[in-house]
Structure 1
Amino acid sequence: MLYIFDLGNVIVDIDFSRVLGVWSDLGRVPLAMLKSRFQMGENFEQHERGEISDEQFAANLCAELDVALSYEQFTAGWQAVFVGLRPEVITLMQQLRVRGERVVILSNTNRLHCDYWPSQYPEVQQAADKLYLSQDLGMRKPEARIFQRVLQEEGVSAADAVFFDDNLENIEAARQLGITAVHVTDAQVVPDWFAHRG
Structure 2
Amino acid sequence: MDSILNPSTLKNLVFDLGDVIIPIDLTAPVRNFAMLANLPEDEVWAIWKEHNFINHYETGLLDDAAFRAEVRQLLKNDVWADEVIDTAWNTVLLDLPVERIARIQELKANHRLFLLSNTSPIHIRRVNDVLTQLNLPTLEQLFERVFYSYEVRLAKPSPDIYRHVLTEAGLVAEETAFFDDNAANIQAAAELGIQAVHVQPPMTIIDYVKDL
Structure 2 length normalisation: TM-score? 0.80
1:4/1:164 contact within 8 Å kept: yes
Residue 68 of structure 1 aligns with which residue?
A: 77
CA RMSD of aligned residues (A): 2.3
CA–CA distance in structure 1, aligned partners of residues 39 and 21 of structure 2: 32
- Equivalent position amino acid for 1:151 in 2: L
CA–CA distance in structure 2, aligned partners of residues 22 and 79 of structure 1: 10
CA–CA distance in structure 1, aligned partners of residues 131 and 15 of structure 2: 15
Residue 14 of structure 1 aligns with which residue?
A: 24
Deviation at 1:103, TM superposition (A): 0.8
Deviation at 1:114, TM superposition (A): 2.6
Of structures 1 and 2, the one with the larger relative CO (CA 8 A, separation 6+) is: 2
Residue 116 of structure 2 aligns with which residue?
A: 106
CA–CA distance in structure 2, aligned partners of residues 40 and 13 of structure 1: 26
Residue 56 of structure 1 aligns with which residue?
A: 66
1:40 to 1:104, Cα distance in 2 relative to 1, 3 A: farther
Residue 163 of structure 2 aligns with which residue?
A: 148
1:10/1:86 contact within 8 Å kept: no
CA–CA distance in structure 1, aligned partners of residues 182 and 68 of structure 2: 24
Find 1:26's aligned residue among 31, 36, 42: 36
Deviation at 1:41, TM superposition (A): 6.6
**1:149-172: CA deviations, max 9, x gaps?**
211222221000000111111111
Within 5 Å, give how 1:68-147 maps onto structure 2.
68=77, 70-72=80-82, 73-98=84-109, 100-122=110-132, 123=136, 124-125=138-139, 126-147=141-162
2:20/2:204 contact within 8 Å kept: no
CA–CA distance in structure 2, aligned partners of residues 40 and 183 of structure 1: 29
CA–CA distance in structure 2, aligned partners of residues 31 and 42 of structure 1: 17
Give the structure with the higher percent strand.
1
Residue 174 of structure 1 aligns with which residue?
A: 189
- Equivalent position amino acid for 1:114 in 2: I
Count residues in correspondence.
195
Give the structure with the higher percent helix.
1
CA–CA distance in structure 1, aligned partners of residues 131 and 51 of structure 2: 28
* Structure 1 ranges of 4+ moved more than 6 A: none
Structure 1 length normalisation: TM-score? 0.85
Q: Does 1:164 align with 2:179?
A: yes
Deviation at 1:16, TM superposition (A): 2.4
- Alignment partner of 2:44: what SS? helix
